Structure 1
Amino acid sequence: MTSSIADRSAGPRATAGTVLVTGASRGLGHALASLYAQAGWRVLACMREMPPEPKGSMQRYSLDVGNTASIEALGRTLESQAIDIVINNAAVRGDTGGLGSLDADDFMEVLRVNALAPLLIARALRANLLAGQRKLVVNISSRAGSLAEGTVDDDDGDYAYRCSKAALNMATVKLAQDFQRDGIAVISLHPGWIRTDMGGPDAVVDIAQSAHGLKALIDTTTMAVTGSFRAYDGKTVSW
């Protein structure tokens, strides 16, 4: 695997740290990656489709989170590089028509991208996180995956998406247990119903508002809150 690196400086420079963001080509992933770049972080922006003319200071890597070989190749490419924060943001919505239109292949693809990929990425980059200072895995989840809150005032028929985010939340809890001895914190974050291609124009949260709120939570996360589930505004979300 090769990377396309834009605007690399002629010499080394100090950075606030290194953060890797999946699904960074657009939407929330792009907003988060841009915020960290502006704050002086070294940003590893992972995306399935590379822009024809990369701009900015981010280091861009081709990554298809739905492909196990692509995730493993990214791990080999980044071998020995310290990473402070991994943000598993890439996700797909899938069918929203309810039980009647549920398709087995669509359902399994949504699970693969939204729930399995973050686990495989965490495994592939575990050594990188151990070499970093912050040691944090962030899973961008959704209140839609909450058994307690996921269907409150929300009756969309997106079975696959809801089930995948519920599975991702359990993955967060399991990873938090497994990584605790390494000093690696793992959290789930709900970005709110944001106005993106996935969220649609009727969504109530501006993408910049969500990204700033999420970054504030990420930047203050410690081992004391590993295994937790919070919203972009800091409120705890019930499992």
Structure 2
Amino acid sequence: MTSSIDSLGERERRTVLITGASRGLGRELATLYEADGWRVIACVRGSASVDGGIETQSLDVSDPASITALGRTLEGVAIDVLINNAGIRGDTGGLSTLDGGDFVEVMRINALAPLLLVQALRANLLAGESRVVANISSRAGSLAEGTLDDDDGDYAYRCSKAALNMATVKLAQDLRKDGITVLSLHPGWVKTDMGGDEAQVPVATSAAGLKTMIDGADMADSGSFRGYDGRRISW
């Protein structure tokens, strides 16, 4: 694990912190940003690693103490972009298999952890230049569009992403005075372990689109819900 202490050389580059970066979309985003010359802080569980010279930090987003510890480790490190990507699907069997423990765990990881990360890294974002928080949400969490073309029984996942969308709106309001832009972003039905074999969007396509959205975001976009392709999604 490499040092996270800033230097003059490091601050010549913009810095992005990505959660859930050991595989799938998070890993692809880390690779894209590193190739674009950014300093990448890739947060992973346990001893997982990311290819190349990407810096890693251990983080269990299900554990508030781990999030607090990350904030202490990165004290004084300017962060330009925070990408809250880590997430889980949970049970998909519908009402008949709904389990309280599973539901709470999905909510803890998908909805609460992004809020705790912003809380822990707020000073880091204020020290950055871009000042963007990107919450990787899902169209599945849209009350207007989330069930238009599928009937999957993923109660916990859908509820967690709806909660994350409200968190985006609240954070956008609270952090506007700090000049921090907060986005909810739908990555599409991505061909990852979570997306499954029938998914339609290549992970490279989704990550590239998300990076374009994040890098071009400003305060006029704060509190919005957009797809990786730029389409506005109804709440």
Secondary structure, aligned partner of 1:187:
strand
CA distance in 2, matches of 1:176, 1:120: 15
What is the Cα deviation at residue 14 of structure 1?
6.4
* Corresponding position: 1:78 with 2:103: no
Give the structure 1 partner of residue 47 of structure 2: 50
Give the structure 2 partner of residue 66 of structure 1: 62
Q: Deviations over 1:88-123 (max 9, x none)?
A: 000000000000000000000000000000000000
Counterpart residue identity of residue 101, structure 2: D
Name the count of aligned residue pairs: 232
Counterpart residue identity of residue 39, structure 1: D
CA distance in 1, matches of 2:97, 2:226: 31
Give the structure 1 partner of residue 23 of structure 2: 26
Give the structure 2 partner of residue 236 of structure 1: 232
Give the structure 1 partner of residue 103 of structure 2: 107
Counterpart residue identity of residue 18, structure 2: V
Give the structure 1 partner of residue 164 of structure 2: 168
Counterpart contact for 1:139–1:186, Cα < 8 Å: yes
CA distance in 2, matches of 1:180, 1:143: 24
| Runs of 4+ in structure 1 over 2 Å off | 11-16, 49-52
What is the Cα deviation at residue 13 of structure 1?
5.7
* Corresponding position: 1:125 with 2:125: no
Of residues 196, 207, 216, the one that matches 2:212 is 216
* Corresponding position: 1:157 with 2:182: no
Structure 2 unpaired stretches of 5+: none
Structure 1 unpaired stretches of 5+: none
TM score, norm. by length of structure 2: 0.96
Q: Deviations over 1:203-233 (max 9, x none)?
A: 0000000000000000100001100000000
TM score, norm. by length of structure 1: 0.94
Counterpart residue identity of residue 171, structure 1: A
What is the Cα deviation at residue 238 of structure 1?
0.4
